[in-house]
Structure 1
């Protein structure tokens, strides 16, 4: 099956965006894909802020993009755009880092006023990086994502169904089989 790089552009250690991505990663693994999680916040800040293209962590991250068949990009929406942390990483990748790849853009945010951030802010940047295909993405409201005291993630039913559909469409675009029933 395909190798998927699952990238969280959230700066928060307790990010709902990252938790949601890891939840969707499980679905992709169940469909037979190898998933490599990447939380951009774990990269050295000095490398990102000083645009150190030659920093070993940036070189390694660029290699992860190169070896992936597909990339899931998740970001919280701030001021109607994707996170600055994600922007810093995308700026350090080669111009055509997504060439030949299938990409799934996802976003989370506090208001439906930001629902078009994927199409108007993120998708054009991703498209400029040469992907073979950008599948339809999904915006999830923060209030639809809850984390229990035990750390378990719960997604509101309508959002969970929509996320399952876009994840399955991404999986099909990668050539994977999809699950008939939603997984945990």
Structure 2
């Protein structure tokens, strides 16, 4: 079973990256999988995403994301929503590309006023691509990153049963 982490922060080595990988690992442990699995860090692909023509690196990343059974999608909040880098990448996926994928949105926020962005902006994009998205998505304030485990554990406890049920449902359907 593949758990893939997609990080839409334009800066490499970001706090968003760390939070996403740890969230994927925490969730993977709760559903009995090895984690956090593969990481697609868009900061390394940023120059290629808007370049004309195809890029082998982008194509491999798109394939990893589309083939994931569990996909943790993370971004910092910029201007009240996820990054343009994440949007540019996800726009390259065809409609329905995430059908059969359980996707878990994660946003890192500077201000609590943006906490609904995970449900109002990122969730609908993942659903539009065909993913099943358990609730709740994870909205982490930057101030919470210092004690990340205290926030990841309760979130994973809530979404793990839904994730496991969706994975079982999808394996029966195959």
TM-score normalised per structure 2: 0.83
Matched, 1:164 2:156: yes
Separation (CA, whole Å) in 2 of partners of 1:51 and 1:87? 17
Give the drift of 1:166.
4.3
Match of 1:48 in 2: 49
Counterpart-to-counterpart distance in 1, 2:19 and 2:6: 11
Distance in 2 between residues matched to 1:57 and 1:81, nearest whole Å:
26
| Structure 2 partner of 1:178 | none
Change (3 A) 1:51 1:124: farther
Following superposition, the deviation at residue 41 of structure 1 comes to 0.8
Normalized per residue, which structure has more strand?
A: 1
Residue 112 of structure 1 and its aligned partner are, at CA, apart by 0.9
Given the superposition, is the C-alpha separation of residues 51 and 72 from structure 1 closer, same or farther in structure 2, using an over 3 Å criterion? farther
Unaligned runs of 5+ in 2: 169-174
- Relative to structure 1, is the Cα distance of residues 51 and 121 closer, same or farther in structure 2, using a 3 angstrom cutoff? farther
The structure with the greater share of residues assigned to helix is 2
- Report the 3-state secondary structure (helix = DSSP H, G, I; strand = E; otherwise coil) of the residue aligned with 2:122: helix
1:21 maps to: 20
Matched positions, count: 163
Partner of 1:119: 119
CA deviation string 1:118-148 (max 9, x = no partner): 12211121111112x11111101000102xx
- The equivalent of 1:89 in structure 2 is 89
The answer to whether the aligner puts 1:98 opposite 2:98 as a matched pair is: yes
Sort the Cα spacing of 1:79 and 1:171 in 2 relative to 1 into closer, same or farther, 3 A.
Answer: same
